[in-house]
Amino acid sequence: MSTTTGPAIQVRGLRKSFADVDVLRGVDLLVERGSIYALLGANGAGKTTLVRILSTLLPPDAGTATVCDLDVATRAAQVRGSISLTGQFAAVDEVLTGRENLVLMAQLWHLADPGARADELLEQFSLAEAGGRRVVTWSGGMRRRLDIAMSLTGSPPVVFLDEPTTGLDPQGRLEVWGAVRTLAAAGTTVLLTTQYLEEAEKLADRIAILHRGRVLVEGTLAELRALLPPTTVEYVEKQPTLEEIFLALVGDDPSDAGEHAEDGR
Amino acid sequence: MSTHTLHETAALTRRSLRHVLRSPDTVVTTAVMPIAFLLLFVYVFGGAIQAGAGAVAAGSVPGTSYVDYLLPGILLITVATGLAYTAYRLFTDLQGGIVERLRSMPISRAPVLWAHVLTSLAATLVSLAVVVVAALLMGFRSPAGPLAWLAVTGILLLVTLALTWWAVVAGLSARSLDGATAFSYPLIFLPFLSSAFVPTATMPGPVRWFAEHQPVTPVVDSLRALLSGQPVGAEIWVALAWCAGVLVLGQAGAVLLFRRRVG
Ligand SMILES: Nc1ncnc2c1ncn2[C@@H]1O[C@H](COP(=O)(O)OP(=O)(O)OP(=O)(O)O)[C@@H](O)[C@H]1O
Ligand SMILES: [Mg+2]
């Protein structure tokens, strides 16, 4: 790889708005190489928007974002060679077989032996048996795993996973977690978004909570726990879960009602 | 084009061709309507049309039948129906997130578009062959030599390419699946107001004027001349000029839209 040793992802003062919504209002983020970083946030918090900017699909309005020391706005082509994106909604080709999907990705990455890489990934994601069947016959969980496998075909150093386990059963979720841990162990940086607080707790080295266009809090799980010091000692039998921290920080903010009111009626 | 770009175009075109091969119904559906028109006009309306237009018209070249007269127009209708699927495939790729995935990958942008264009040409060519075989079964005969057939194929490919860019425009700009394919309806209808079914001389004033000045007529006349072994007149240049204009305009629009939507 490159000789640079900066963080895998660095975001400073990132802003993005669509027509009438200010989605990102000055986001700062720092993700160390080889770590698993979880981005939490309610629906509409801007997680997908941030991931799309980082994966060069969307230009930011202001601020800077670098991936592997490459600016996503000005060096987009190089950034694409260092990342992979698994979007929020599965982007697999249903007409092709699972294996053909992976072979296509391997060909587009110009790998020497696309077939071998495809078989390797099918094996890794427990899809070998179904590999020869058209994806249209697959279950949602299998498609999601294929979707992730397709993203990993080129073994890029930075991986974005937008809600990778949404819609998966517990078994499928564990498999994806396993794959994420394997990636990180091999030195890959993983930035994932999730709705499942437990997922962030179990998987991530660091966690950021995105709220109303900014990173509200950021840190390791222990650091986030420390934000809520137990006030009455005798009741502290278990530490607060991340869910409690999350809801305490985000939950009952009356000025926040606007966005939800729109959804509600 | 770099070898990488060629490699990517080949991989994506193979993928897209698999879509066509795995839903042979799209090729069949493309050919079914033109063949139905062929049957209808040859066996149902044919007699009346020939009786009515006989003096001026169709069978004016001795030894040719109405199916011979009809085929060029039917082939253009085949092109138009096939292109609906080009728009359809592009639209579903955009909707399904495949294009989004490709956009985040370190590949050139052009192959994403060219794969669809090449597939469009290949799929249309197959449908055209199916329709020609059907016409042969219905008595179509042509004295044309290999060179004339080559010219016919070339013109049809040029028409297909020119209109494919419009299919791309439709696929890129549509908001719904029906919207994506609707662009082909007027194209299917246009041959009816041309010399494709009856000679323009039989038409009333304004209709006749339109028929004689719209692009289908010179294209159909050129194809008909080539297929019946007749010398091609100046209409071939009018036809080629129309094709070039439609192609340049369509490609410019398609590339512009593609840049805006895909990058
Ligand atoms: N292309 C767009 N045009 C207009 N508004 C958009 C666009 N993309 C996103 N938005 C708006 O930006 C806000 C944030 O959307 P985003 O998809 O980033 O949220 P999210 O955190 O990923 O939510 P979810 O958990 O539901 O996936 C939403 O209010 C959404 O409506
Ligand atoms: Mg999202």
Letter for the amino acid at A10? Q
pTM of the model: 0.86
Distance A48 CA to ligand 2 centre (A): 4
> CB within 6 Å of ligand 1 — which residues?
A 18-19, 21, 23, 41, 43-49, 88
Q: What is the pLDDT of residues B176-197, one digit of tens each?
A: 988 888 888 888 889 988 888 8
Residue A35 scores a pLDDT above 60? yes
Beta bridge partners of B152: none
Q: What is the pLDDT of residues A119-143, one digit of tens each?
A: 999 998 889 999 999 999 998 888 9
Element (H, E) at B205: helix B205-213
| Helices marked H in A109-161 | 114-124, 140-152
Q: What is the pLDDT of residues A213-231, one digit of tens each?
A: 999 999 988 888 887 765 5
Residues contacting B8, CB < 8 A, separation 6+: A107, A108, B107, B108, B111
What ligand 1 atom has the least distance to the C-alpha of A47?
A: 21
In the DSSP assignment, the letter for residue B104 is T
Residue B46 scores a pLDDT above 60? yes
Residue recorded with tokens 């027509």: A19
**3-class SS shares of chain B: helix, strand, coil, % to 5:** 80, 0, 20
Task: Establish if B20 touches chain A: CB-CB under 8 angstroms.
Answer: no
Long-range CB pairs of A71-80 (<8 Å, 24+ gap) are: A77/B106, A79/A55, A80/A55, A80/A56, A80/B104, A80/B105, A80/B106
3-class DSSP assignment, residue A82: coil
The CA distance from B107 to B50, in Å, is: 56
Q: What is the pLDDT of residues A152-179, one digit of tens each?
A: 999 999 999 999 988 888 878 888 898 8
* Number of CB atoms found within 10 A of residue A93's CB: 23
Average pLDDT over residues B133-156: 92
Residues of B in contact with A84 (CB under 8 A): 104-105
Q: Where are the domains of chain B?
A: 3-262
Q: What is the pLDDT of residues B63-79, one digit of tens each?
A: 568 888 899 999 999 99
What ligand 1 atom has the least distance to the C-alpha of A42?
A: 25
Beta bridge partners of A86: A161
Which strands, in side-by-side order, build the sheet including A206-211? A83-86, A158-162, A189-194, A36-40, A206-211, A214-219
Residue B53 scores a pLDDT above 80? no
| Pairing label, strands A83-86, A62-67 | unpaired
Task: Establish if B7 touches chain A: CB-CB under 8 angstroms.
Answer: yes
Alpha carbon B54 to chain centroid distance? 28
Structure tokens, A126: 């427990």
The CA distance from B134 to B75, in Å, is: 11
Interface of A with B in 137-166 (CB under 8 A): 150-151, 154
The CA distance from B160 to B184, in Å, is: 12
